[in-house]
Amino acid sequence: MQPLPDFKRIVTGHDINGNSIVTHYGVTPNIFKSNNLPNMITHDVWRTQSPPARLQADDNHYYKSIMTRPEPGGSLMRIVDIPPDESLPPISPKELSIEIPNLIGPLNNFTQTPIPHSDSLDYCIVIIGELWLILDNDQVMLSAGDTIIQRNTKHSWSNRTNKMARLAIIALDK
């Protein structure tokens, strides 16, 4: 399967004179590949901890592990590359819960796959491709440009095409 193209992460800040500048430019250093789901790639672009956000800090935000939700009072921006369902091997809820701890809920009514529970307010934007948003009793087809306001509900994503899809997620602690 052909992976999606890299994207740039541009971080701005200030120089010692207070002028606005680019402090980091390039591919995000926080790329996590799934052990159980081939071609599923999570790019953690930025995280903040409890407010106020550190706007002057000059760190590159390197992370050692993936987070399933924002820090208390914080935020999380991530881009997720989602492969077609047909390319994914069967995976048990137990195997998936090891990879994504504290996130797996009951099986959903449509695909019998685990539904993660988002304990946050998530703004999601389909960037590339087509995805299905699966809820307890609903499912909605989404195309590039469609936006989702995910308000602390159980959900999962399904890629029913034969091409990769990319989803941007900005999660805010509730």
Q: Is residue 14 part of a domain?
A: no
Interval 62-104: pLDDT, tens = 666 777 778 888 888 999 999 998 888 877 666 666 665 544 4
Average pLDDT, the chain: 82
Quote the pLDDT of residue 166. Answer: 97
Q: Is residue 2 part of a domain?
A: no
Residue type at position 147: T
Interval 19-44: pLDDT, tens = 999 988 999 888 888 887 888 899 99
Residue type at position 125: I
Containing structural domain, residue 42 = 30-173
**Number of domain units in the chain:** 1
Q: How many CA atoms lie within 13 A of 39 on its CB side?
A: 19
State the CATH number of the domain containing residue 107: 2.60.120.10
Q: Is residue 1 part of a domain?
A: no
Instruction: Look at residue 120 and tell me whether its pLDDT is greater than 50.
Output: yes
Q: Is residue 135 part of a domain?
A: yes
Strands (E), 49-119: 75-82, 104-107, 114-116
* Predicted TM-score of the model (pTM): 0.84
More confident residue, 118 or 16: 16
Q: Is residue 43 part of a domain?
A: yes
Q: Is residue 3 part of a domain?
A: no
Q: Is residue 153 part of a domain?
A: yes
Q: Is residue 164 part of a domain?
A: yes
Strand partners, 117: 154
